[in-house]
A and B are shown apart, each in its own frame.
Chain A
């Protein structure tokens, strides 16, 4: 099903005259940087959003850059180019996990940074989507962010990839390298925890 979706996306791209992902990947494998720029423009928003939900805004640009640098280095070895997006999400997951380990070790994080980190995570930001800030929406965003932070890293990853990034369970399982059954159970627990948290904050769904 996933392959069908990807194939149809590829066909749609071909019809509109845009280079398909597979064409771009093939050229990138030959060392074409301009094609890699196009791939970056296509995927950076998704990568950025995922990393932000998993790691917060601290050194987000560095993490995004690290993901794409790893992708560039690994591209010549990528044989099944139609799974590029899964592969890229997997790199993002690995980078996020590494970052989390670093933070846990306390190498990159001082007590001052802790405060900044928490503050960043707890303060919703005004982005380009919000030209006129809606206070209620800012409040809801804040709640969602806090709710996500209350989840364990593994549960958060499943919820972010499946519910926010809209990826199918099978693809989430491939990205995180876990069975589909584990994805389902983690998703169930993550949703329940988040729902409880939101209800405690006065939101009934």
Chain B
């Protein structure tokens, strides 16, 4: 019974395989059309994106670096009188003050305590 059933199954399968409907012929352009429509994989896209942005990035970085270093090296020019005044006060105030103070101090010291003691003429009274 089982063998008979198995034989029937085999007969059916071989009949189906032998007479299976075949698909229509493939279009000759289908293969090339498919290959043309393949998009690059995300990895490749990322690589391309990176490669495309490498040069502009390098230029931008270089420009930024140059401009920053140039502005640091070049003395700033005060365009407004106020700026100039502030600049002078900020940079020279202490220097001038300290110098003038020293000078004044020395002058005062000189004035108060003469460093050279000049010999005073002895008062002599001669009785002749």
Size band of the interface chain A makes with B: 35 or more
A69 touches which of B26, B37, B40, B43 (Cβ 8 Å): B37
B window 70-121: CB within 8 A of A? none
Q: Mark A50-70, 1 if CB is under 8 A from B, else 0.
A: 011100010011001100110
Q: Mark A126-157, 1 if CB is under 8 A from B, else 0.
A: 01111000000100111111001000000000
Which chain A residues border B8 with CB–CB below 8 Å? 195, 205
Tell whether, in the assembled complex, residue A205 and residue B38 are in contact, meaning their CB atoms are under 8 Å apart: no
Which chain B residues border A41 with CB–CB below 8 Å? 31
Tell me which of A7-15, A32-40, A90-98 binds B. Answer: A32-40
Size band of the interface chain B makes with A: 20 to 34
Tell whether, in the assembled complex, residue A194 and residue B38 are in contact, meaning their CB atoms are under 8 Å apart: no
A65 touches which of B23, B33, B40 (Cβ 8 Å): B33
B15 touches which of A53, A159, A205 (Cβ 8 Å): A205
B31 touches which of A37, A75, A148, A166 (Cβ 8 Å): A37
Which chain B residues border A29 with CB–CB below 8 Å? 41
Question: B68 within 8 Å of A by Cβ?
Answer: no
Q: How far is it, in angstroms, between the C-alpha of A188 and the C-alpha of B22 when the chains are bound?
A: 24
B21 touches which of A37, A64, A145, A198 (Cβ 8 Å): A145
Nearest Cβ distance between residue A51 and chain B, in whole angstroms? 8
Q: Across the two chains, which residue of chain B brings its CB closest to A28?
A: B41
> In the complex where A65-B33, A164-B16 touch, is A33 in contact with B23 (Cβ < 8 A)?
no
Tell whether, in the assembled complex, residue A65 and residue B24 are in contact, meaning their CB atoms are under 8 Å apart: no
Tell whether, in the assembled complex, residue A61 and residue B43 are in contact, meaning their CB atoms are under 8 Å apart: no
Question: A168 within 8 Å of B by Cβ?
Answer: no
Which chain B residues border A141 with CB–CB below 8 Å? 19-22
Question: B27 within 8 Å of A by Cβ?
Answer: yes
> In the complex where A127-B22, A127-B24, A163-B17 touch, is A31 in contact with B44 (Cβ < 8 A)?
yes
Question: B12 within 8 Å of A by Cβ?
Answer: yes
> In the complex where A127-B22, A143-B19 touch, is A36 in contact with B27 (Cβ < 8 A)?
no
Q: Across the two chains, which residue of chain A brings its CB closest to B45?
A: A31
Please name the 7 residue pairs, one residue from A and one from B, whose CB atoms are nearest each other, closest first. A52-B23, A140-B19, A145-B21, A127-B22, A205-B11, A31-B44, A163-B13
New contact pairs (11) apart from A37-B35, A65-B30, CB-CB < 8 Å? A36-B35, A44-B26, A64-B30, A76-B42, A127-B25, A128-B25, A140-B15, A141-B22, A195-B12, A203-B15, A205-B12
Residues of A whose CB lies within 8 Å of any CB of B are 29, 31, 33, 36-37, 40-41, 44, 48-49, 51-53, 57, 60-61, 64-65, 68-69, 72-73, 75-76, 124-125, 127-130, 137, 140-145, 148, 159, 163-164, 166, 191, 194-195, 198, 203, 205
A–B complex contacts, Cβ < 8 Å, 7 sampled: A49-B22, A57-B24, A69-B38, A142-B21, A144-B20, A164-B17, A191-B9
